[in-house]
Amino acid sequence: MELTRKQESLIRSLYTRHGRRKAGLCVCEGLRAAGELFMRAPELVRFTVATEAAAGELAIPGELHRVPEGKLRELAGTVNSQGILAVAAIPPEPDAAEAPADPFLLAIDRLGDPGNFGTICRTLRAAGLTELWYTKGSVDPYGDKAIRSALGAQFALKLRGFDDLEALRAAAQSYGYPSVWLTDPHGGESCFSAAKLYERSVIVIGGEANGVTPLAGAQRVMIPMPGNYESLNAAQAATIFLFEYVRRTMNTE
Amino acid sequence: MELTRKQESLIRSLYTRHGRRKAGLCVCEGLRAAGELFMRAPELVRFTVATEAAAGELAIPGELHRVPEGKLRELAGTVNSQGILAVAAIPPEPDAAEAPADPFLLAIDRLGDPGNFGTICRTLRAAGLTELWYTKGSVDPYGDKAIRSALGAQFALKLRGFDDLEALRAAAQSYGYPSVWLTDPHGGESCFSAAKLYERSVIVIGGEANGVTPLAGAQRVMIPMPGNYESLNAAQAATIFLFEYVRRTMNTE
């Protein structure tokens, strides 16, 4: 089927936050990200644009437009689109009535970098968790870069956004996650020894620029750094928290 | 002092691998990366180009050229150069006679992504280690992106490059690191229970595309992934190994 001009200009608009909001759609590029989308949320897919070669790699649900490689490169946000680009509805947030199933919640506060955001999604999924919470002021979870970095893990996770940390905490409490731990490079309990770190808690990781917003009544947790080198990348901090949880779970099984 | 045309064209050439090799120089952008360079290896700095504002933020060793922001943006590889760019000699590798001091060695094999490479440098430094080994076929450690992602941690670490894993292992053995562990998503001992993982060993992390090169006689180590989601990003895998080491060290102190 021919790709219409309208579809082309729609795709282009989805590389801006404004365009995504207006259309309620996002663009998912690359074989692995598109593969994750097709497998986990085929009902969201509106149409797919792919080269002949890439179209043969995946089972593509719904409308498919085969285009030459040059055309795809012209449309895609990256030179490494791997020959495929899917347009999909932005998944709705889980219904407020639906309580999270995870033992603890990972939350990010004002995280601005889409690569970090995507890496956190991907790592969360590898650790076997299902939810990622975030405050507004963080990057758009459905931007093209965030989806590429996450290899489409967004479509396998439940993402919930909140106006600020206060609102996030209130929601967590309502679901039975009463304790909040803020990551802090300067003090607090060590993530390797805090006994209750993962017990019905929310672990909050701050953004690259400003760290975590202060929040009265929250506990502080730190990642010990023998190198006396203050800042770990936010995605690295998230990875340490997630796999310390995996380690503890393994050792008690 | 005026920036000469020759200096300008030198800077431009340093954004290519060929140009860096030819000149034996690299370009280090951003306040934190340049700050690390100035503090850890001031003797390597050839000259610095900075805006008035950025020049006031750091103690800059040697020749400084103050330029308007527009000029710097024109020269720099990123729009977020933060107003500063230093040209520095590529650090020589440690002398072969100088044995590593770390308890174990982290090595990367054919890692192609400069962002991952940089993040690994930064995380290694946070974990208190001092060496990073790599095989040729990995990204150029002194490319502008690798330096930016590492926040200049390259200048605080000892990097040693080898033709392949065989050569890397031979060197490790000669320094008294006899055991090699290859990370493998499909099997081997768990990184959380392998008792000898950090005992005079080399832990090898593979590249994004092909994983680790097979190596006869090496042991395999895996990161358990409850999410049944095969691939962690290489930098996340490195982070898990590095901070599992930190955790074990903390718990025995």
List pLDDT tens digits, range B23-33. 999 999 999 99
| Position B231 pLDDT exceeds 80 | no
- The closest CB to that of B250, out of A122, A127, A190, belongs to A190
Confidence of residue A82 (pLDDT cuts 50, 70, 90): confident
- Locate A51 and state its tokens: 């080269």
On the question of pLDDT at A253 being above 60, the answer is: no
Domains (ranges, CATH) in chain B? 5-89 (3.30.1330.30), 105-252 (3.40.1280.10)
Q: What is the pLDDT of residue A173?
A: 97
Residue in the structure block whose two tokens are 């392998």: B194
Amino acid at A43: E
Q: Does B250 touch chain A (CB under 8 A)?
A: yes
Mean per-residue pLDDT, A175-198: 94
Tens-place pLDDT, residues A210-238: 778 889 999 999 999 998 776 789 999 99
Write out residues 207-236 of A within 8 Å (CB-CB) of B.
223-229, 231-233, 235-236
Token pair of B28, please? 């280090």
Q: Is A252 on the interface with B (CB under 8 A)?
A: no
Which residues, in sequence order, are bridge partners of residue A189? A221
* Residue B209 in this model has a pLDDT that exceeds 80: no
Residue of B nearest to A185 (CA): B126
Share of chain B above pLDDT 90, in %: 83
- As a whole-number percent, the residues of chain B with pLDDT over 70 amount to 97
The pLDDT confidence band at residue B227, using thresholds 50, 70 and 90, is confident
Residue A183 at interface with chain B, using a CB cutoff of 8 Å: no
Does A240 touch chain B if contact means CB atoms closer than 8 Å? yes
Contact B226 A190 (CB under 8 A): no
- Tell which wins on pLDDT, B208 or B75: B75
- Give residues with Cβ within 8 angstroms of B102, minimum separation 6: B129, B130, B131
Tens digits of per-residue pLDDT, A24-71?
999 999 999 999 999 999 999 999 999 999 999 999 999 999 999 999
Reported confidence tier of residue B88, pLDDT bands at 50, 70, 90: very high
**Would the pLDDT of B253 be above 60?**
no
Q: Is A99 on the interface with B (CB under 8 A)?
A: no
- What pLDDT sits at residue A36? 95
- The kind and range of the H/E element at B181 are strand B179-183
pLDDT for A90-120, tens place per residue?
A: 999 999 999 999 999 999 999 999 999 999 9
Confidence of residue A252 (pLDDT cuts 50, 70, 90): low
Tell me if residue A99 falls in helix, strand or coil.
coil
Which residues of chain B have a CB within 8 Å of the CB of A229? Answer: 122, 125-126, 153
Q: Do B225 and A123 touch (CB under 8 A)?
A: no
Residue A184's nearest CA partner among A150, A156, A211 is A211
State residue A208's pLDDT score: 75
Residues forming a β-bridge with B25: B89
Quick one: which of B249, B215, B211 has its CA closest to B230? B211
Task: Give the pair of three-digit tokens for residue B176.
Answer: 């008294």
Question: At residue B92, does pLDDT exceed 70?
Answer: yes
| Token pair recorded at residue A39 | 């497998």
State the sign of the Cα–Cα–Cα–Cα dihedral B130, B178, B138, B185.
negative
Residue B129 has pLDDT above 80, yes or no: yes
Residues 143-162 of B with CB under 8 A from A: 153
Q: Which of B115, B128, B231 sits opposite A227 (nearest CB)?
A: B128
User: Nearest to residue B54, comparing CAs of B74, B31, B37?
Assistant: B31
The pLDDT-based confidence of B210 (bands split at 50, 70, 90) is confident
Please name the amino acid found at residue B67.
V
Q: Which of A80, A84, A78 is nearest to A54 (CA)?
A: A84
DSSP-assigned beta bridge partners for residue A176: none
pLDDT higher than threshold 80 for residue B179: yes
Residue B32 C-alpha, separation from nearest chain A C-alpha, in angstroms: 11
> Given a cut of 60, is residue B4 above it in pLDDT?
yes
Contact A126 B250 (CB under 8 A): no
Region B136-163 average pLDDT: 95
Average pLDDT taken over every residue of chain A: 93
- How far apart are alpha carbons B250 and B244 in whole angstroms? 10
pLDDT grade for B252, boundaries at 50, 70 and 90: low
Q: Which of A106, A157, A183, A239 should be substituted to probe chain B, the one whose Cβ sees the most B Cβ atoms within 10 Å? A: A239
